Amino acid sequence: MAYSESAALKALSDIRDPRTGRDVVSAGMLSDLIFKDGALRAVLSIDPTLADGFEPVRKSAEDTLKALSGVNSVSVILTAHKAGPKLGKAAAPKKRVVPHQARRPEGYQGDSQIQTVLAVSSAKGGVGKSTMAVNLAVALAQLGKSVGLLDADIHGPSAPILLGLKDVMAKTEDAEGRRLIKPFTAHGIKAMSIGFLTEDDGPIIWRGPMVQGAISKMLWDVNWGKLDYLIIDMPPGTGDAQLGLAQDIKPKGAIIVSTPQDLALADARKGVQMFQKVDIPIVGLIENMAVFICPDCGNAHHIFGKDGAKREAENMGVPYLGAAPLDMAIRESGDAGIPAATHDDKVSEIFAEMAKAIMA
C-alpha cells in the first residue's frame, strides 16, 4: 500500500506528551510532516528545558511511523523553542503571543504583490459558498483584474472540480531566491488548493493547528505574483480555523454567502459578527439560491424563501451585493469545471454585477 498522510497523523495521535497526557498532534507539537521518495520526516516543537525527557517520545514516534505502509525511512526531530526571559520587578509584560499564530518564512513572500485579499465565507455549509467564490473570481478577471483564488477549505476542497483541475499535482519554481509552489491558471485566474498538494481522494484528518499551517503555507509559499484581488474560499463555520485565518491573514474585507432561509441567515449573522469582532470590514452579503425558474412552465419558485438575505443585510447595515438563482446551469457548469461566469448569458451577467459591486 502507498503512504497515507492521514494514516501518519492517526499513528502520531497515539503518541502522548508525558507531562499532560495529550497526544502530540492535538497538543500542537507537530510542526511539520513531510514525505518524499519513501522518506518521512516529522518535527516536534518542545520547550528546550524538556528536551532530555522527550527522547523516549521521539523514539516512540519514530518506531510508530516506521511501521506505516510505503515508508522506507523515518526521522523524528525535536525542535526546541527558547523560552522568553522571566519578568523582573522592573520588567514590563510583553505583548501576548497568539498560540495558533502561524509564522511567516524568511525571504520573499508569495503574497507580497497582492493588492487586496477578500474572504468569501459562510458560517453554514451547503449554501454554495465555493461556487460563489469561484464565479466571483472569474467575473473579476473578466472585468480586467488580475485575480487569484485560494481554496482554504482543507477538509472539503472544491476548487479542483469547479475549475476543471481535478487530479493535477502542483509543482514548485524559483522566485526571488526561494522555492515556491506554482499556482495553476484556469479560466483567467490563478488557483491553489490542498487538492493540488495531496495524491489521494481520502479525507484529510487534521486538527486545527495543521489546518491553519497548511492554509498559511498556500498563501505565503505560493508564487502568486502581482494580483489585484486574491479571493479566499474560507472553510464553513466560525470556529478556531476561521478565527485564526482572520487574525493571521487579515483580509481587507469579507463577503458573506447565505440562502434566503431563516436557518442559514441565523448562521450568516454569526459570520458577520465574527469578522466584526476581529475588525475585518464586511464587503457585503450575497443571496444564493434566491429563486428557481421552472424550465418547463417558466414560473418562479422561492424554494428557500424570498428576499431573506436582502432584508437581513438591511437589518445588519451591510451592503447587499446581489442574488444568484438556483439554476441548473450553475450546477452543471460547476460539475463540468467550467464556471458559469465564463458563459455569455443572464447568469454570467449576475456574477459580473456582483463583481462590479465588490470593486465599488
* One domain, residues 268 and 328: yes
What amino acid is encoded at 121 in this protein? S
* One domain, residues 224 and 147: yes
> What letters, b where the CB count within 10 A reaches 16 and e where it falls short, cover 168-197?
eebeeeebeebebbebbebbbbbbbbbbbe
CATH number at residue 324: 3.40.50.300
CA atoms within a 13 Å half-sphere pointing along the CA-CB vector of 50: 18
The predicted pLDDT at position 84 comes to 41
Burial of 62 (C-beta count, 10 Å sphere; 0-12/13-18/19+): middle
* One domain, residues 53 and 184: no
The predicted pLDDT at position 26 comes to 74
* One domain, residues 228 and 340: yes
The predicted pLDDT at position 160 comes to 93
Residue 155 vs residues 135, 212, 248, 299: alpha-carbon distances, Å = 21, 12, 19, 38
Query: What cell was used for 161?
Result: 472540480
Domain final residue, candidates 80, 98, 126: 80
Query: What cell was used for 59?
Result: 523514539
| CA–CA gap between residue 164 and residue 339 (Å, rounded) | 9
Query: What cell was used for 173?
Result: 519554481
* One domain, residues 171 and 254: yes
Domain membership flag for residue 91: no
Mean pLDDT per 10-residue interval, the chain, length 360 residues: 82 85 80 83 76 80 90 81 42 43 72 93 83 96 96 85 91 88 95 81 50 74 94 79 70 89 78 83 90 74 75 86 88 92 90 94
From the list 148, 154, 142, 256, the residue with the least C-alpha distance to 192 is 148
Do the Cβ atoms of 303 and 260 come closer than 8 Å? no
* One domain, residues 14 and 138: no
- Rg, the chain, Cα only: 22
* One domain, residues 330 and 195: yes
* One domain, residues 214 and 331: yes
Domain membership flag for residue 301: yes
* One domain, residues 14 and 162: no
Domain membership flag for residue 93: no
The predicted pLDDT at position 341 comes to 93
| CA–CA gap between residue 221 and residue 117 (Å, rounded) | 16
Domain membership flag for residue 183: yes
Give the domain range for residue 172. 114-359
* One domain, residues 166 and 64: no
Domain membership flag for residue 99: no
Residue 142 vs residues 160, 188, 301: alpha-carbon distances, Å = 20, 8, 30
* One domain, residues 172 and 218: yes
Domain membership flag for residue 92: no
Domain membership flag for residue 12: yes
Residue 1 vs residues 7, 71, 74, 199, 202: alpha-carbon distances, Å = 11, 10, 17, 13, 14
Largest Cα–Cα distance in the chain? 80
The phi and psi torsions of 196 (rounded to 5 degrees) equal -90, -5
The predicted pLDDT at position 88 comes to 45
Domain final residue, candidates 80, 97, 132: 80
| CA–CA gap between residue 285 and residue 279 (Å, rounded) | 17
The predicted pLDDT at position 57 comes to 87
CATH number at residue 34: 3.30.300.130
The predicted pLDDT at position 87 comes to 41
Looking at the 3D structure of the chain, how many domains does it have?
Answer: 2
Q: Using alpha carbons only, what angle is made at residue 151 by residues 145 and 155, rounded to the nearest 5 degrees?
A: 170
The phi and psi torsions of 239 (rounded to 5 degrees) equal -90, -155
Domain membership flag for residue 206: yes
What amino acid is encoded at 58 in this protein? R
Rounded to the nearest 10 degrees, what angle do helices 240-249 and 262-277 cross at?
40
* One domain, residues 321 and 205: yes
